[in-house]
Amino acid sequence: MGDASRSMLARARSEIREWRPLEAEQQIAQDGELVVVDVREQHEWNDGHLPAALHVPRGFLELQIEEKVPDKTAPVLLYCAGGVRSLLAGQTLQQMGYRNVISMAGGYGAWTAAGLPTETPLRLSDAQRRRYSRHLLVPEVGEAGQAKLLQARVLLIGAGGLGSPAAYYLAAAGVGTLGLIDADVVDETNLQRQILHNTSRIGKPKVASAKETLSALNPDITVNAIEDRLTKANVLDLISQYDVILDGTDNFPTRYLLNDASIIANKPVVHGSVFRFEGQVTVFKPFEGPCYRCLFPAPPPPELAPNCAEAGVLGVLPGTVGLLQATEVIKLLLGIGEPLVGRLLMYDALAEEFNELRLFRRPDCPACGEHAHPEDLPTYEDVCAV
C-alpha cells in the first residue's frame, strides 16, 4: 500500500463507523431495519456470504445501490473480504446521501474466522447457464429464480395425458426433482396424447417410460418413478416430500384422497381435468383459497355420477390443459404472477374460448373449514370401477 492509499484509508476510517463481526451479528439480529450489503466481486460472493445480505459489487455500487436500498436513512452495513473496500464503499454511499453507513472491520474473513453463519448460493454451472439462458434473460426468473426451480420438488399424480406435457416442460424448465406416480403400463391407445411414451414402450410401466424420456431431455434433473397407486397409506408421506402437487387423475377417490391430504400437509394442488373438447384448471392452495371439498363436499351417488364410459378426448386438449397446469406450478414455485387460486379457468377448444368462474372457501368445508378434521374424512370407492 502506498502513501496515498494509506492516507485515503485513514481518512475513510475517521469518517465511517466500524463494527467487529460479533457486534455486527448482534445488530443484525436486533435491528430489523439494518440492510447488509456485500460489495465483493461475483466469484467471492459465490463462495459464500452473510445470510440475508444483498450483493452489490463495488464496481456497480453507484449504479445499483439506490435501486436496492432506496431509503437513505436506513442503517447500511457494508462488508468486503478484509474490511478495506467496504470502508471506501462507505465513503461513496455517504457522498450519495446515505446517512447511516457502517463498515464491518475485518470483513468476511473475520466473520468466518469467528465461526459465524454463512450461506452459499446455489451456483449455476456453465452448462446450466447455457441450458437455462432464456430463463436467465427474464428478470422475473433470472439466476435466483432458476436456482429456486433447480431446488424445487414437484409431484405429478399420473403420467398420462395431463402429466405428460406438464412433466415434459417442467423437466425442460429445470425443476430439479420430479416425482411421478402411476401404476399403469403404456397402452397403444395412450399414444394419441401421452407424449412422454412411444410405440416401443407399449407394455412398459408408464413411470419408467416417462423417466427415460425426461432424463434424455434433461439429465440435470432427478426423476422419481413411483410405480404405485395413490392410497390412504402412502399419500401423506409422499406429498410431504414435495413443494407442489400436479393433479392429473381421472377419478373421484383419488381427487378426495389427495385433497384431504394436501390440507393436512399444506401443499398446493394444481388441478386439471379434460373431457372431449373442454378442460378446466384451478389451483387449490390450502387456507388461501377453496379446496376441492369446498366445491364438492362429497362425490355424487352412482345414480347422479356422470357417465363413466370412456368419454374420448381430442388428443391435443390435454396438451393445452397440462401446460396451463405446468405454468401454474412454475408461478407457484417462483412466487410470481396471479395464480389461479379461487378461480376456475374453463377452456373450450371448439369455441377457442376461455371463461373464468370465481370460487370461494366454504366456512363449513369438511376439509378446510373452521372446525374441519381432514384426517377423519372418508375415502371413497370408485363409482366407475364396478
Partner 1 sequence: MATLRIPPVLRPSVGGAKSVTAQGTTLGAALDDFFRRYSAVREQIIAADGSISNFVNVFVDDQDVRYLQGLATPLAPDATITLLPAMAGGES
Contacting residues toward partner 1, per CB under 8 A:
158, 160-162, 182, 184, 193, 247-252, 255, 272-276, 278, 280, 295-301, 304-308, 311, 313, 318, 344, 355-360, 384
Q: Pick between residue 90 and residue 299 the one whose CB is nearest to partner 1.
A: 299
With CB under 5 to 8 Å by kind, the binding choice for 293 among partner 1, Zn ion, none is Zn ion
Sequence-distant (≥ 6) Cβ neighbours of residue 385 within 8 angstroms: 251
Q: From Zn ion, partner 1, none, which one binds at residue 367 (CB under 5 to 8 Å depending on kind)?
A: Zn ion
DSSP for 265-333 reads HT--EEEEEEEBTEEEEEEE-TTTS--HHHH-SSPPPGGGSPP-S---B-TTHHHHHHHHHHHHHHHHH
How far apart, in whole angstroms, are the C-alpha atoms of residue 374 and residue 362?
14
CB 359 to partner 1: min, Å: 7
- Residue with Cβ nearer partner 1 (69 or 384): 384
Which of partner 1, Zn ion, none sits in contact with 118, Cβ below 5 to 8 A by type? none
Please, what is the minimum distance in Å from the beta carbon of residue 164 to partner 1?
A: 9
Closest CB to partner 1 among residues 7, 189: 189
Looking at residue 359, the DSSP 8-state letter turns out to be -
The nearest distance, CB 318 to partner 1, in angstroms, is 5
* Cell numbers at 109, concatenated: 474473513
Smallest Cα–Cα separation from 271: which of 326, 337, 351, 338? 326
From Zn ion, partner 1, none, interface partner of 304 (C-beta below 5 to 8 A by class): partner 1
Q: How far is the CB of 158 from partner 1 (least distance, A)?
A: 5
Helix (H, G, I), strand (E, B) or coil at 232: coil
- Which of partner 1, Zn ion, none does residue 249 bind (CB under 5 to 8 Å by kind)? partner 1
Tell the smallest beta-carbon distance from residue 304 to partner 1 (Å): 6
For helices 206-217 and 163-172, angle between their N-to-C axes, nearest 10 degrees? 30
DSSP states of 136-193: HTSTTTHHHHHHHHHH-EEEEE-SSTTHHHHHHHHHHTT-SEEEEE---B--GGGTTT
Could you give the 3-state DSSP secondary structure of residue 132?
coil
Contacted entry of Zn ion, partner 1, none for residue 122, CB cut-off 5 to 8 Å set by kind: none
> Considering the complex, what minimum distance in angstroms separates the CB of residue 360 from partner 1?
6
Query: Can you tell me whether residue 124 is helix, strand or coil?
Result: coil
**C-beta of 154 vs 156, nearer to partner 1:** 156
Which of 68/276 has CB closer to partner 1?
276
- Write the Ramachandran bin of 52: left for phi over 0, alpha for psi from -120 to 50, otherwise beta: left
Q: Which does 165 bind (CB under 5 to 8 A by kind): Zn ion, partner 1, none?
A: none
Q: At its nearest, how many Å lie between partner 1 and the CB of residue 275?
A: 4
Q: Which is nearer to partner 1, 60 or 275 (CB)?
A: 275
- Residue 9 and residue 142: Cα distance in Å, rounded? 37
Tell me whether residue 294 or residue 324 sits nearer to Zn ion (CB atom). 294
> Site residues (CB under 5 A) for Zn ion?
291, 293-294, 365, 367-368
Contact 196, 159 (CB under 8 A): yes
